[in-house]
C-alpha cells in the first residue's frame, strides 16, 4: 500500500470513529467519493475497530496473555528424583497439571508404586474446601469401581499436601486421542467405562464436575479406563460474587478473569458456565463432549477465546457427527441427548446413557459376527474398487443404513463388499493369521496422498487427494494412505533430500509405536493413514523426499531392526549407522525389481510379481 493511501485511510478512519453510527456512514461515503475500494477498506477497518473494542483485543498486556505458558515451561519442581518424601521415595516426575505436580514414587511401607500428586499451594489454600474434596475423593475411591482411580492416602509432608493414588501405567485420553484416530469400537469402550465410573460415583452422590480428556487415563496393558480427580474441581471452582444468569453477565465475568478458567471451558456444561448449581447431568454433558471429540477429533464448541466458547456452549447447535467416517446414527443420537442444552432434556442418569452405549456396542459386535461368518467369501471377491476407494471409505449415514439392511437380508456379493468397506473402518485386533487364506502371486499396493494447504500456520481450503508426484510447496502438509487387497507386512521409510556430503538418513514412518497397534502386519483392505491425525510437514531443505513403500508377503528380517527406532522420542530417525547402511542396500537391491505403476486421478496402484514390493514415492518440494 502506498503511504499516501494509508494516510488517507487513517485520516478518514480516525474521524469516522468519533461520529455516531448514522453520521459515520455518511461521512465515510462523502470522503471516499467514487473510490469504492477506499470506502470498503475503511468500512472494514471500522468494523474491526468495533470488534476490537468489544473483545478488548490486545487490551491487556502481552506478558499476561502468555504468562500461563511461561509458568508451565519454566517452573521448578518441588521434589527431586531420589528424594525421600515422608514414606515415599520419589522415582520420577510424571507431569504437571493444573492442580499440581505428579510423581512416580515408591511407598516404602508396602513396597508399592504409587502416583504422588503434590497439590499446588493455591489449590490447598481453602482448608474447608480441601476437607470436602478429600471426603468426596475418599468416598469415590472406596466405591471400588474398577474405572475410578483408587486413592491410598491424603497427607502432608513439609507443608506440602499430597495425594497418593494407584499408579496407572498409561496415558491420558488427551494424549491418546492426540496420537491416533480412534476406531468406533474403541470410542464406545472408553465411553462405556467413563460412564460406568460416573454411574457409580453419582449413585454415591458424588459429581465429578471436571470431566475432560486430561482426567481420563487409559492403562497401557489392557486399555482399562480410569477416571481421576473426583471432587477435586470443587476445590478450585470459582466463587461467583453474584448469580450471573445471562450470557452477557457471564461473558463480562470471564473477561475480567480470563486466566482463571483457561483450558477447562470446552467441557463445561451450560449450567456450569452460567454459574448455576450443577448435578450429575453436568457430568453427562461433559462425557458427551468427550465422546464427540473422540469421534470428530475436536470438541463441538470452540471459540477464539474462552468467552466465545462459552457463548457457543450456551447457544450454538453442534455440527453433526455423521459427517465423520462411519458414525452410526445411534451414536449421534446418544451424543445429542447427552449434550442437550437444557439439563432436563439430557440423559437424567449416567446409567441410562451407559445402557445406550452398551447396546450400541453389542449391536456392532453382532454386525461383526455376521461379517466374520461371510469372511471366506469376502477374500475372493475383495477387489479394490480403484478409483472410488477414498470415497468408499467414507461410510456415510446412508451407507451405514444400507449395510445394516443388507446384512439383515442375506450376505449376497453386493453385501459382502459393503460389509467389507464398513469393516475397514472398524477396529479389529491385528493378529497375523496362521496362514494366508488366499495367496495371490505377487504384491499389490495402492496409495494416495492427501494434501492440506497451510497459510500462516492454519489450514486453509479443503484437503484434497492426489495420486502421487507433484511439486509440493513448502506450506503444503501431507498424509499418506496405503491399502492393499492382500494382507502383508508393511514398512514405510522416509529418505531426505540427497546431499553430496552425507549418506542418506532414514526415518521410520511405519510401523509406528501408535498406529495399527504398533504392528507392521496389515489385513486385506485395511487402510493405513500416516500420520493418523496430524500431517507430515516438509522442512526448509528443498529437494526430493522419498517415501519408501515396502510391502512383503512375509515379515522382512532385513527390516526387523527398524522397529527399535519407530517411536516418538527419536522421531523415527535411524541413528544406527550400520542399520542405516543395511536399510539402504536392501532398498537399492529390491528397487531394481520391476514395479507396475498404474496412476489414476486420486490414487496409484503398484504391482510386483515378487514377494516383496519396494517402491519410492518421490516428493519434490520447494
Partner 1 sequence: MKQFVPMKKDPPRQEHQITQLLAEWREGNQAALDELYPLVYDELHRLARRYMSRERKGHTLQTTALINEAYVRLIDQRNVQWANRSHFFAISAQIMRRILIDHARRHAYAKRGGGARQVSLDETATVIHEDLAEFLRLDEALKSLAELDPRRSQVVELKYFGGLNNDEIAGVLKISKNTVIRDWNMARAWLHSQLAGSASN
Q: Nearest-CA neighbor of 88 among 144, 167, 34?
A: 167
Residue 76 binds partner 1 (CB under 8 A): yes
Instruction: Select the span of 47-55, 241-249, 325-333, 413-421 touching partner 1 (CB under 8 A).
Output: 47-55
Residue 132 binds partner 1 (CB under 8 A): no
Residue 328 binds partner 1 (CB under 8 A): no
Catalytic residue among 199, 210, 229, 283: 210
Residue 622 binds partner 1 (CB under 8 A): no
Q: Of 134, 484, 494, 526, which one interacts with partner 1 (CB under 8 A)?
A: 494
Per-residue three-class SS string for 153-209 = EEEEECCEEEEEEECCCEEEHHHHHHHCCCCHHHHHHHHHHHHHHHHHHHHCCCCCC
Residue 451 binds partner 1 (CB under 8 A): no
Q: Nearest-CA neighbor of 378 among 331, 417, 334?
A: 417
State which of positions 466-485 bind partner 1 (CB under 8 A).
Answer: 477
**Residue 41 Cα to chain centre, angstroms:** 39
Residue 308 binds partner 1 (CB under 8 A): no
* Gap between the Cα atoms of 84 and 115, Å rounded: 14
Whichever of 54 and 434 has its CB closer to partner 1, that residue is 54
Neighbours of 139 (CB within 10 A): 15
Q: Of 69, 109, 221, 622, which one interacts with partner 1 (CB under 8 A)?
A: 69
Contact 349, 280 (CB under 8 A): yes
Whichever of 171 and 505 has its CB closer to partner 1, that residue is 505
DSSP 3-state assignment of 617?
strand
Contact 613, 545 (CB under 8 A): no
Neighbours of 273 (CB within 10 A): 22
User: Could you tell me the smallest distance in angstroms from the CB atom of residue 535 to partner 1?
Assistant: 5
* Gap between the Cα atoms of 511 and 566, Å rounded: 6
User: Could you tell me the smallest distance in angstroms from the CB atom of residue 486 to partner 1?
Assistant: 27
- Angle, helix 280-296 to helix 184-203, in steps of 10 degrees: 170
Q: How many residues bind partner 1 (CB under 8 A)?
A: 66
Element (H, E) at 412: none
Residue 37 binds partner 1 (CB under 8 A): no
Reading the block at residue 380, the C-alpha cell is: 475372493
Neighbours of 88 (CB within 10 A): 23
Q: Of 261, 280, 509, 549, which one interacts with partner 1 (CB under 8 A)?
A: 509
User: Could you tell me the smallest distance in angstroms from the CB atom of residue 320 to partner 1?
Assistant: 22
* Gap between the Cα atoms of 434 and 424, Å rounded: 21
Q: Nearest-CA neighbor of 341 among 300, 291, 294?
A: 300
Whichever of 256 and 594 has its CB closer to partner 1, that residue is 256
Residue 460 binds partner 1 (CB under 8 A): yes
Contact 38, 31 (CB under 8 A): no
- Cα–Cα distance list, 550 to 80, 214, 536, 557 (Å): 46, 37, 19, 12
User: Could you tell me the smallest distance in angstroms from the CB atom of residue 431 to partner 1?
Assistant: 27
Per the annotation, the verdict on 601 as an active-site residue is no
* Gap between the Cα atoms of 444 and 525, Å rounded: 11
Beta strands 458-466; 88-97: pairing state: unpaired
Q: Nearest-CA neighbor of 422 among 529, 325, 521, 320?
A: 325
Whichever of 57 and 381 has its CB closer to partner 1, that residue is 57
DSSP letter at 573 equals B
State which of positions 261-290 bind partner 1 (CB under 8 A).
Answer: 262
User: Could you tell me the smallest distance in angstroms from the CB atom of residue 584 to partner 1?
Assistant: 15
Q: Of 571, 592, 594, 622, which one interacts with partner 1 (CB under 8 A)?
A: 571
Residue 4 binds partner 1 (CB under 8 A): no
Residue 380 binds partner 1 (CB under 8 A): no
Residue 424 binds partner 1 (CB under 8 A): no
Whichever of 45 and 340 has its CB closer to partner 1, that residue is 45
Q: Of 19, 23, 40, 70, which one interacts with partner 1 (CB under 8 A)?
A: 70
State which of positions 517-556 bind partner 1 (CB under 8 A).
Answer: 531, 533-539, 541, 545
Whichever of 51 and 359 has its CB closer to partner 1, that residue is 51
Q: Of 19, 36, 40, 64, which one interacts with partner 1 (CB under 8 A)?
A: 64
In the complex, the residues that contact partner 1 under the rule CB under 8 A are 1, 6, 10, 13-14, 17, 44-49, 51-52, 55, 57-58, 61-76, 120-122, 178, 262, 304, 455-458, 460, 477, 494-497, 505, 507, 509, 531, 533-539, 541, 545, 570-573
Catalytic residues: 210
Amino acid at each position: 500500500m502506498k503511504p499516501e493511501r494509508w494516510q488517507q485511510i487513517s485520516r478518514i478512519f480516525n474521524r469516522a470513529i468519533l461520529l455516531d453510527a448514522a453520521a459515520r456512514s455518511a461521512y465515510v461515503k462523502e470522503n471516499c467519493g467514487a473510490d469504492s475500494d477506499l470506502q470498503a477498506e475503511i468500512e472494514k477497518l471500522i468494523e474491526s475497530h468495533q470488534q476490537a473494542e468489544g473483545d478488548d483485543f490486545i487490551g491487556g498486556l502481552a506478558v499476561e496473555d502468555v504468562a500461563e505458558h511461561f509458568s508451565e515451561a519454566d517452573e521448578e519442581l518441588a521434589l527431586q528424583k531420589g528424594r525421600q518424601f515422608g514414606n515415599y521415595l520419589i522415582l520420577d516426575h510424571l507431569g504437571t497439571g493444573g492442580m499440581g505436580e505428579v510423581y512416580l514414587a515408591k511407598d516404602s511401607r508396602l513396597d508399592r508404586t504409587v502416583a504422588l500428586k503434590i497439590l499446588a499451594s493455591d489449590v490447598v489454600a481453602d482448608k474447608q474446601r480441601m476437607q470436602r474434596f478429600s471426603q468426596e475423593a475418599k468416598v469415590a475411591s472406596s466405591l471400588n469401581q474398577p474405572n475410578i482411580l483408587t486413592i491410598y492416602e491424603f497427607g502432608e509432608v513439609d507443608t506440602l499436601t499430597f495425594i497418593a493414588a494407584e499408579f496407572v501405567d498409561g496415558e491420558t485420553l488427551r494424549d491418546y486421542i492426540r496420537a491416533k484416530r480412534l476406531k468406533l469400537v474403541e470410542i464406545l469402550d472408553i465411553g462405556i467405562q467413563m460412564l460406568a465410573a460416573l454411574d457409580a460415583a453419582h449413585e454415591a452422590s458424588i459429581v465429578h464436575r471436571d470431566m475432560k480428556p486430561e482426567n481420563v487415563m487409559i492403562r497401557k496393558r489392557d486399555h482399562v479406563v480410569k477416571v481421576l480427580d473426583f471432587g477435586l474441581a470443587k476445590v478450585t471452582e470459582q466463587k461467583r460474587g453474584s448469580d450471573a444468569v445471562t450470557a452477557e453477565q457471564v461473558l463480562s465475568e470471564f473477561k475480567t478473569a480470563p486466566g482463571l478458567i483457561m483450558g477447562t471451558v470446552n467441557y463445561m456444561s451450560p449450567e456450569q458456565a452460567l454459574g448455576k448449581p450443577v448435578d450429575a447431568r453436568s457430568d453427562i454433558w461433559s462425557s458427551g463432549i468427550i465422546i464427540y471429540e473422540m469421534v470428530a477429533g475436536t470438541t463441538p464448541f470452540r471459540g477464539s477465546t474462552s468467552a466465545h466458547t462459552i457463548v457457543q456452549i450456551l447457544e450454538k447447535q453442534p455440527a453433526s457427527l455423521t459427517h465423520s467416517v462411519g458414525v452410526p446414527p445411534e451414536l449421534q443420537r446418544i451424543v445429542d441427548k447427552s449434550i442437550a442444552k437444557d439439563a432436563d432434556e439430557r440423559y437424567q442418569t449416567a446409567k441410562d446413557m451407559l445402557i445406550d452405549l452398551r447396546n450400541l456396542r453389542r449391536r456392532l459386535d453382532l454386525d461383526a459376527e455376521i461379517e466374520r461368518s461371510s469372511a471366506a467369501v469376502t477374500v475372493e471377491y475383495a477387489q479394490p474398487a480403484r478409483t472410488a476407494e477414498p470415497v468408499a471409505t467414507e461410510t456415510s449415514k446412508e451407507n451405514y443404513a444400507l449395510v445394516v439392511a443388507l446384512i439383515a437380508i442375506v450376505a449376497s456379493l453386493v453385501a459382502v463388499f459393503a460389509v467389507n468397506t464398513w469393516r475397514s473402518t472398524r477396529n479389529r485386533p491385528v493378529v497375523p493369521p496362521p496362514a494366508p487364506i488366499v495367496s495371490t502371486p505377487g504384491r499389490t499396493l495402492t496409495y494416495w496422498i492427501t494434501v492440506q494447504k497451510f497459510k500462516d500456520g492454519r489450514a486453509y481450503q479443503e484437503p484434497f487427494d492426489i495420486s502421487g508426484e507433484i511439486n509440493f510447496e513448502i506450506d503444503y502438509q501431507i498424509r499418506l494412505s496405503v491399502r492393499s487387497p492382500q494382507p502383508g507386512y508393511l514398512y514405510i521409510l522416509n529418505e531426505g533430500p540427497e546431499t553430496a556430503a552425507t549418506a542418506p538418513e532414514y526415518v521410520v514412518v511405519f510401523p509406528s509405536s501408535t498406529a495399527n497397534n504398533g504392528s507392521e502386519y496389515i489385513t486385506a483392505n485395511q487402510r493405513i493413514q500416516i500420520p493418523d491425525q496430524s500431517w507430515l510437514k516438509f522442512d526448509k531443505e528443498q529437494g526430493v523426499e522419498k517415501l519408501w513403500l515396502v510391502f512383503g508377503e512375509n515379515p522382512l528380517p532385513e527390516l526387523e531392526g527398524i522397529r527399535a527406532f519407530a517411536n516418538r522420542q527419536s522421531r523415527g530417525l535411524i541413528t544406527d549407522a550400520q542399520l542405516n547402511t543395511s536399510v539402504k542396500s536392501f532398498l537399492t537391491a529390491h528397487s531394481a525389481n520391476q514395479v507396475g505403476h498404474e496412476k489414476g486421478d486420486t490414487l496409484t496402484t503398484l504391482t510386483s510379481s515378487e514377494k516383496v514390493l519396494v517402491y519410492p514415492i518421490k516428493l519434490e518440494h520447494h
